[in-house]
Structure 1
Amino acid sequence: MRFGVNYTPRVGWFHAWLDHDRDAVRRDLEQVAALDLDHVRIFPLWDLVQPNRGHIRPAALAAVADVVDAAAEVGLDVNVDALQGHLSSFDYLPAWLTTWHERNMFTDPDALAGEEAYLRALGETLRGRPNLMGLTLGNEVNQFAARPHPRPHEIDADQAEAWLRRLLGAAREGLLGTEGAGAETPGTADVLVTHAAYDATWYDERQPFLPRHAAELGDQTVVHSWVFNGAAQRHGGLGTGSVRHAEYLVQLAAAWHTDARRPVWLQEVGVPTTVVDPDDAVAFLEQTVRHAAGVAGLSGITWWCSHDVSRTMLDFPPVEYDLGLVDEHGTVKPTGRALAALARELRDAPTPAPSPVGLVLDDTVPHRTGCAPGGDFFEAWVHAAERDGRGPQVVLQSRSHEAGVLAERGIERLEHPGDVDETPGHLVPTAVASGGAAATMHR
């Protein structure tokens, strides 16, 4: 299992891309490496790299490559995000997509051509670097596709899938230098080509980027876990629904896999001290990481984030200023020391066995609201996790009678949310028939 961090430059935050300082980057990355982490995820701002649809700045691409090379010098691999897009409540769409030049970034032919050109150029720049971990299309780009974004680039699910396939293909082509490499086929190269969504994909029926898009397209399934989404407000900062939210999201994502061996990458998770007491930050980190690391099929955990946002930076939401493992003055925080210890302990730990229990999610009806914190399915999963000590796998109703699939996932019995009560032990399990279809659940 890999342990890394989302790299937020200590000086200048992501505006540091305006004044690339290799020495400052090297100092930051040396601190990350000293925490026994093995990779970073970096975020060049899209509007700085491609300020005009026809102009991709060579100096900006060179700065990205220089950060990757600086990371190699201290023993870190790098995942690069492309279409930034959106970070920490701020949007960084290039001017050729906004106001007088407003285009739908997902469907407009000119916009798509510009995005493809950028991804190819970035892939070509990074091609062959031995410490390149992968290329992600962008940070939570799905937030542009629907409300609650104030000016959404509205699309439907088919358009979302077409956009993903086209741009994943462009990224792969840039990295490989080959025409038509299958972006949706895992294992076509050593580097990962992925896409990332915030949790509306799993929790909000308005969201056109669907769970199956996350689980079928790209080389791994990527999830971002944040408990300010109602989990901590409902369960408390150290409640089961909070410290196991990341574990739950990994299990939920895997339910849509058509290949039981497909990995899930917990690409973002952090401790928001607006809903978790600052005195509980270390405990939250330790419990969150241990629970998530106990899920079979998890490829890695990338913590958010490396360095606190400086208080000189204005207008950020309060939560953003205290998420780092290192403070704005360069001092490692208790959370940094805790994650380092966990990385040393868990990196080479034996692969965990899958949970033998499958909690059935009825995907034949609208279900995403019920999967969110406070929803019936989420709360049933939490109660089952409290009862068993580990969270159950999630099984889609549409696949719950496929005995071969269940066996491949190591599922021995099925449960339904209506049979998991808040009182531990109150359930009626369904055995998975050996060599045949799963038995029908009766209450």
Structure 2
Amino acid sequence: MKIGQQLSIVVYACTALTFITLLITVELFYKQNQIQSRLDSIMAVHSQIDSLRGRLWLYRQYPSAQTRQDVNQSTHALRAQLDSDELALPPQSAQSIRLAANSIDRLLSVTAGQLSVAPSVDEGRLMLFSRFNVLLQAMSETAFSVRQQVMHQSGQQQKKLLVVHGGVLVVLALLVTIFVTRLRRRLTRRLKVLHSTITQIKQGDLTTELTLTDKDELTELADHVDEMKRALSHTMVDKKQLSEEVARQTQQLREQQHQLKFLAERDELTGLFNRRAFESHVEVAVMRANRAQTNAALLFIDLNDFKQVNDTYGHGVGDELLKVVGHRLKQCVRRSDLVGRLGGDEFIVWLDLLADKSALNEVITRIQDEMHAPIQVADTSLSLTISIGVSCFPTDGLELQQMMNQADAAMYYAKNHPEARCCLYSNLPTDQIK
């Protein structure tokens, strides 16, 4: 079996362990909630019984129609509690408590006239309240017995779940550990052989053959190493040639690295900064302008009716148009300024170290003039209009994202009001300034 397949098995096994652990946790949580809910219901029954006991004590001390009615209400509340959650107590226990409550109601009804007179201690009165106490004690003992039974069952159930689930997890974890240990030993042993062979190559030994028995990725790598050794033995070069080759490849790598860095920061079509690179460079420019207490501006530029160009002349013409726009924007600003393309037909410009607002207006006018000049693409001459939104630093904002939002809002205002062509965020109507 190949190493990649074995590692996949390890990943699947670890995933299964995680999933099983999650299921066990959920089940234990669900069982615990069930038990807690049942115990809460039993405690509610206990509370109703204690409430009934208190009402009976008041009735004994102050027999009247009101205290007797309070006792009746307590027995009704107790029966309602039993009916509201029939699963909290076993049917037999619930029926026992319900019968005791009914007995109290009947005794109250039968003896109502006897206790309406002034309270006095006699044998009948003592027997009546002794009977009440017996019924209350029976209800309390029933509820307590059920609570003890539920707690015992809960403990047994949790022990069973822990034993079963824990056993499953231990077995799976043990199997995964054994498998990973064997894989680790195998990889370590084979990597040592490869390391030893590569060390021999470094020392100039190109005769020893590398042999691995199992067919996997390391065996294929060993075959490649042997092929490389055979090739090296036929193409040995002197130290000078080797140094020249190393220098050539190093220079090539540097050029490729420089090209990759350029491509990572540039828009593929126009060669301008992409959004990520533009924001990164502008963040530095904002901090520099903040320290130097200088003025700057952020321009959002949108090409009007660009979709119509694509629909009329095709996307090839549209792409060439975007290239021309990017080139003209670069020509309109200084080397210290930044130009980027956000995507589609949206461009963004950072004007650094502005002396005053007149310098900003001069750049905007130059951009508008350049953009409005006819653009020759292939055999097609195109006329272009743009909408510009401007956010000024530091008067409008001090952070890049804030200024981008402001310039975007100003650009959309200019786009919706063609006569404006360009709009500063500070010139927006009051209801549109956030």
TM class by shorter chain equals under 0.3
TM-score, reference length from structure 2: 0.19
Larger radius of gyration: 2
TM-score by length of 1: 0.19
